[in-house]
A and B are shown apart, each in its own frame.
Chain A
Amino acid sequence: MPTWGEDWGGLWGVSTTATVLLPDTVWFGDSATGLIAELATDESQNASNMTTGATWHYELSPATRFKVVDWTIDAVVGVDNTDTGRMFRHGALASSDLVQLRIAAGGIIEAVMSPGGVATTVASLTLPSISGSDQDYLISWSCEANPLTTGASNAYRTELRAWNLDTGEYTQTVSTHAVRAAPSNSNAIWWADSTAGGNPFTGTPYAGRFSTGFHHSTTVRESFVSNAATPVNYGETRKEIVVPPKSSGIGDDSHFAGPLFLRAALDTRQRDLWLAGPLVNEQFWDLVSHDGDRSNSNATWTLLDPDLADRYLYVTYLYRRPVPPSVNKVSARVFFQQWRSDAPAAPDEVHMTLHSMSQPGPLYKPTMSPAIYERHTSASGALTYEHGSGATAGAWVELGPTNIARDSEGFTYLCLGFRIVDGSSGITRQFWRVKSLVINPVFETQSAGAFA
């Protein structure tokens, strides 16, 4: 069985870097074959096993690890549309602190609580592509305080999710409800509703996990479904270095201050890019079909670059945007569509570049521009796609990090430029569209080439 740091993917056939045992996981039991003795073995850091029933397992009252008001309950199960029963319960049915995850016929998943002492379904969904044949599903219920609350009745929010592990489909529902009443001592039961096995789960349980905090869907997916591939970051990345809150007591009198200062310094160093959002994040829908001789692009809107042969700057894609002071590069992603009207004639090469300028092109110098026109240009690749002219056709093109030329106000002028190289069939039948343009801030260290 997977343990901390091990590869859960060995069980599900996926490459895994994240684990199922998270810092707030207080219960995790699993079995590749649904054996209850294996499922009742606690692999979490608590390492406190449960008592087994015939097809269920339980922990007698007080079951304090489940006495929380924020949680994430994950269950991996094999079910068809006839299966019913309870997957997890903590809290008494007739009291106001009930937490119950259950399935009804038809693959209906219900998250049940009991505000006011009456069992109430606070969220439900139908498992995607549920059928008469057994399929594997991951079901996840997360609960946390609702920041958009307007009163006690919607003080908390629930996200109920389901992945069909056989088809890759996903669905979720979000609802609001009252906070769970202060949890009292109670039995906790997996795969039934009572220690005697009432309302048993009729499907096949493969795993159950209980965590004491809200997990978003990406965390749950990374634990049980699939992992993101290792990214190739070309600039610096940032993430909070957690500073223990005041309630931890680490900053109180009579404690060593050094560790706290160290963590706060590390954390504050992450904040230089914390507020840096995209400089440009645009989609276009009334599209210009640019052509090789620029007749559709409006020739008065395009300008031959005085320094780069045959390259035209397109004023349609010219922006003046502020640059965060901690940024030294920008990178562009373009959703680009290219086709020839006489396909399958050989496509022309479309060379697309991002320009960062200290003024809006070479012809006009606003008062805030520096005396010398500064301009940087991204590397240009030869694009020879044949996407066709369809409404959804195209592909993302990465233009890579580009140095920034700023004016005296800290703004930069960003523009796309294009150059066409005839592919032997004439450039007048070569068309392309820009459907999305995203320009993101980047900080490169010296070793990454920022000052090369």
Chain B
Amino acid sequence: MAKYFKQGLTTDATVPKPAYEPFEALRPARKGPLISLYRAQDRVVTMGRRVMLTQSTRGCAAWMVVDTDPAAGSQTHPLETTVRVTARGQCELTPGNMLRLSVLCGLSGQTQRVGGAAYVADGAGGTLRVSITWTNSLGATESTTHDVPLPASGLEFAASNDGTTGGQWKALRVVEVTGLVPEAMITNAVRNEWTLGTTVDITLSNLGGTRVLDACISEEPFVIAYEADDTSARWMSHMLGNGDPAANGPAISHPFQRLSETSPDGDPRGGTWHLQDVANNQALRLGPTLISWYAFDEDDYSITGTDVTSFDSTSSSFSGVPNTSITSYSTTGQGWDIGAAAYARPYRHNHTKAVGNDGVVPVRFRVWASATAGTVGVVRIQSAVDSYVDATITGTGSYAWHTAYGYLRCGTGPGDPATTMAFMRRSSGAGTVSVRGFTLYRSGNFSTAI
């Protein structure tokens, strides 16, 4: 019979800062500091709030959905039913975390429908659609879709604002959906299934007259559950307190290897072995998301379009993405920055003797791209002249995720910048390589389900 350990993670967590002085030499052993250490390991997975996917205006200062009369006859506004993809991302979840959606938006504009031979007004309103394919560690999947209606404008022609200076600031609204989960998380067996390793494939789409200023899908601590016989490489929390990280744990009278050697259904917690496993697993598997980019551009998106305009290449020379005028890496050029990855530097690759004034993290680079059948392309993510990861895009003619693993220079922390650029080129064949987006995140050398 399965034996589970479960913790709810939705309440505020304290920062994991266990005292280390009680463990220094010549100190008598005390139970209290030890319990604090185990509980601190439990709180690590609650510290993230990782940003997984976003849709912003991308620096534009005009809406796709215009303020004009929708009854003009021709199509000037989007249909209510056209699904416009605005962002995609693929990433592993932090164990114990699920997703939430925050939308900062303007008031939705008009839509149209076909009325006889002409386009006519179909009312104001818009919907944000979040489609997620969840894949667990066994490769099993669940698909969920959440349609989130956004508030509509009551102004003439459903205008975005009243036309006064700063008028857009009056029209802002916030919409939230919390607890995006793959299925009802009622039983510990289901909770355990999604704790052991979950990859999410997220698509954000707009329908109707949406005016989204900033949609952000981020992680939120939810619930974590392990089974007593889960392999030691999977435990990312000590799970000392059943219920929540602050709950009372089992009685510990002296240092154990683990509380129970029984197999199956023993108790791996409360001992030195589990302490070691959890510490090593956290360093190997946990880390921040660094870049989630999709080629969405608010005011250039076609009202009849269903996906973003891709960045294409038929050249064997690298060109920048998204700034195609950039052809080679420079620390002083336009780019992203992955300096925050320095908070998650693993010891093995950052020994002081090896990289005294610098830092490196392992990353996974997942690219949503296509290439003409028979054509092969390369998409590169680069954070130093001699630090880059290439994803190979093998031509099938269809868009798919293409994943690469490698290491990127990230610096040492705040104030030590890590300018990061992306490039693409065709490496063989005669067709076109097309890129619409990518996700970059810190992830160690371990195998995942997809």
Q: Taking A149-B447, A281-B290 as contacts, is the C-beta distance between A163 and B357 under 8 angstroms? A: no
B61 close to A288 (CB less than 8 A): yes
| A446 interface hit (Cβ, 8 Å) | no
- Whether A410 contacts B49 in the complex (CB less than 8 A), given A222-B355, A244-B276, comes out as yes
Say whether A322 contacts B166, CB under 8 Å.
no
A211-258 contacts to B (CB < 8 Å): 213, 215-219, 221-223, 225, 227-246, 248, 250-253, 257-258
Q: Is the CB of B47 within 8 A of A261?
A: no
Contacts of A313 in B (CB 8 A): 169
Contact A262 B348 (CB under 8 A): no
Does A333 count as interface, using CB distance less than 8 angstroms? yes
A201→B304 CA distance, assembly (Å): 64
Q: How far is the CB of B24 from chain A (nearest CB, A)?
A: 6
Do A258 and B349 touch across chains, with their CB atoms under 8 A apart?
no
Checking B25, B214, B216, B323 against A391 with a beta-carbon cut-off of 8 angstroms, the contacting residue is: B323
Residues of chain A contacted by B27 (CB below 8 angstroms): 258
Contact between A298 and B61 (Cβ–Cβ < 8 Å)? yes
In the complex, A307 has a CB within 8 A of chain B: no
- The verdict on A320 contacting chain B, using a C-beta distance below 8 Å, is yes
Counting CB contacts under 8 A, is B360 at the interface? yes
Q: How far is the CB of B447 from chain A (nearest CB, A)?
A: 5
Q: With CB as the reference atom, state the residue of chain B lying closest to A367.
A: B174
Which of A144, A269, A368 contacts B445 (CB under 8 A)?
Answer: A144
Shortest CB-to-CB span from A218 to chain B, Å, is 5
The answer on a CB contact under 8 Å between B255 and A257 is yes
A-facing mask of B329-342, CB < 8 A → 1, else 0?
00011111111111
When chains A and B are docked, how far (Å) is the Cα of A236 from the Cα of B416? 12
Q: CB within 8 Å of B: which of A389-415?
A: 390-392, 394-396, 398, 401, 409-411, 413
Are the C-beta atoms of B414 and A262 separated by less than 8 Å? no
Instruction: Tell whether B288 is near chain A: CB-to-CB under 8 Å.
Output: yes
**With an 8 A cutoff between CB atoms, is B98 at the interface?**
no
B285-296 vs A, CB cutoff 8 Å, 1 = contact: the mask equals: 011111111000
Residue B157 lies at the interface, judged by CB distance under 8 Å to chain A: no
Q: How far is the CA of A336 from the CA of B161 in the complex (A)?
A: 28
User: Interface segment, A17-25, A55-63, A129-137?
Assistant: A17-25
Q: Are A392 and B333 in contact (CB under 8 A)?
A: yes
Contacts of B282 in A (CB 8 A): 271, 274
The answer for the CA separation of A131 and B333 in the assembled complex, in Å, is 30
The answer, among B25, B41, B417, for a CB contact under 8 Å with A268, is B41
Q: Which of A371-426 contact B (CB under 8 A)?
A: 390-392, 394-396, 398, 401, 409-411, 413
Please report the C-alpha to C-alpha distance between residue A271 and residue B41 in the assembled complex, in whole angstroms: 9
B387 within 8 Å of A (CB atoms): yes
Is A364's beta carbon under 8 Å from chain B?
yes
Residues in A whose Cβ lies below 8 Å from that of B17? 269, 272
* Chain B: CB-nearest residue to A255: B272
The answer to the question of A64 belonging to the interface, with a C-beta cut-off of 8 Å to chain B, is no
Q: B19 interface residue, CB < 8 Å from A?
A: yes
Q: Which residue of A lies closest to B448 (CB)?
A: A147
List chain B residues, Cβ under 8 A from A364.
169-170, 172-173
Q: Are B15 and A231 in contact (CB under 8 A)?
A: no
Residues in B whose Cβ lies below 8 Å from that of A442 = 414
B48 touches A (CB below 8 Å)? yes
B124 smallest CB distance to A (angstroms): 18
Residues of B within 8 A of A82 (CB): none
**For the complex, is A12 an interface residue (Cβ under 8 Å from B)?**
no
Give A315-359 interface residues, CB cut-off 8 Å to B.
Answer: 315-326, 331, 333, 335
Most chain B CB atoms below 10 A, which of A157, A239, A275: A275
Q: Is the CB of B355 within 8 A of A18?
A: yes
> Do A271 and B413 touch (CB < 8 A)?
no
Q: Is A79 an interface residue (CB 8 A)?
A: no
* A449 within 8 A of partner (CB): no
Q: Provided the pairs A227-B356, A319-B214, A363-B169 are in contact, do residues A218 and B407 lie with their beta carbons within 8 angstroms?
A: yes
B387 to chain A, nearest CB (A): 6
| A238 x B351 contact (CB < 8 A) | no
B residues in contact with A323, CB < 8 Å = 49
Q: Does B322 contact A (CB under 8 A)?
A: yes
Hey, what's the 0/1 contact readout for B303-344 against A, CB within 8 Å counting as 1?
A: 000000000000000000011011000001111111111111
A219 close to B297 (CB less than 8 A) = no
Which residue of chain B lies nearest to A444 when distances are taken between CB atoms in the complex? B414
- Interface size of B as a range: 35 or more
> How many Å from the CB of A275 to the closest CB on chain B?
3
Are A172 and B336 in contact, CB atoms less than 8 angstroms apart?
no
**Across-interface contacts of B353 in A (CB, < 8 A):** 4-5, 18-19, 21-23
Which of A112-120, A185-193, A433-441 is found at the contact surface with chain B? A433-441
A275 to B220, CA, bound (A): 12
- Is B20 within 8 A of A274, CB to CB? no
User: Within 8 Å of chain A (Cβ to Cβ): is B2?
Assistant: no
Contact of A283 with B293 in the complex, beta carbons under 8 Å: yes
Contact A17 B356 (CB under 8 A): yes
- Tell me, yes or no, whether B29 is within 8 Å of chain A by CB: yes
Tell me whether A299 is interfacial, beta carbon within 8 Å.
Answer: yes
Q: Which residue of B lies closest to A314 (CB)?
A: B61
Contact B276 A396 (CB under 8 A): no
Given contacts A240-B346, A245-B276, A324-B49, contact A269 B335 (CB under 8 A): no
The answer to whether A240 and B345 touch across the interface, beta carbons within 8 angstroms, is: yes
Across-interface contacts of A299 in B (CB, < 8 A): 165-166
Max chain B Cβ within 10 angstroms of own Cβ: one of A17, A222, A285, A299: A285
Contact status of A260 and B336, CB under 8 A, knowing A161-B386, A232-B415: no
Instruction: State whether A300 touches B164 (Cβ < 8 A).
Output: yes
The reply to whether A231 and B59 contact each other, CB–CB distance below 8 Å, is no
Q: Within the assembled complex, what's the spacing in Å between the Cα atoms of A319 and B342? A: 24
CB contact under 8 A between A269 and B18, given known A283-B323, A319-B214: yes
CB-CB nearest in chain B for A414: B214
Point out the residue from A274, A276, A285 that lies within 8 Å of B297, measured CB to CB: A285
Q: Which of B214, B290, B445 contacts A318 (CB 8 A)?
A: B214
Query: B343 and A237: CB pair below 8 A?
Result: yes
Task: Tell me if A278 counts as interface (CB < 8 A to partner B).
Answer: yes
Are A285 and B288 CB-contacts (below 8 A) given A275-B94, A396-B332, A436-B334?
Answer: no
Known: A239-B345, A268-B279, A320-B216. A277 touches B166 (CB 8 A): no
Beyond A320-B102, A392-B334, A440-B340, whether A218 also contacts B387 by CB under 8 A is yes
Instruction: Give 23 pairs: A residue, B residue, CB < 8 Å, sorted on A.
Output: A22-B353, A147-B445, A147-B446, A148-B403, A227-B356, A231-B411, A233-B413, A243-B280, A257-B255, A261-B34, A264-B41, A265-B23, A268-B41, A274-B47, A281-B292, A285-B297, A302-B166, A315-B213, A318-B172, A319-B214, A322-B102, A361-B172, A392-B326
11 additional contacts (CB under 8 A) given A240-B283, A276-B343, A368-B176: A170-B386, A217-B407, A218-B355, A218-B384, A233-B415, A257-B29, A265-B20, A265-B37, A269-B20, A323-B49, A396-B419
- Please name the 7 residue pairs, one residue from A and one from B, whose CB atoms are nearest each other, closest first: A277-B288, A284-B59, A251-B272, A275-B48, A237-B413, A303-B166, A235-B414
Residues of B within 8 A of A (CB): 12-13, 15-20, 23-25, 27, 29, 33-34, 37, 40-41, 44-51, 54, 56-62, 94, 102, 104, 160-161, 163-170, 172-174, 176, 213-214, 216, 218, 220, 232, 255, 257, 271-273, 275-277, 279-280, 282-283, 286-293, 297, 299-300, 322-323, 325-326, 332-360, 384-388, 390, 403-407, 409, 411-417, 419, 441-442, 444-448
Interface residue ranges, A against B (CB under 8 Å): 4-5, 17-19, 21-23, 144-149, 157, 159, 161, 163, 168, 170, 172, 174, 213, 215-219, 221-223, 225, 227-246, 248, 250-253, 257-262, 264-269, 271-279, 281-288, 296-304, 313-326, 331, 333, 335, 360-361, 363-364, 366, 368, 390-392, 394-396, 398, 401, 409-411, 413, 434-436, 438, 440-442
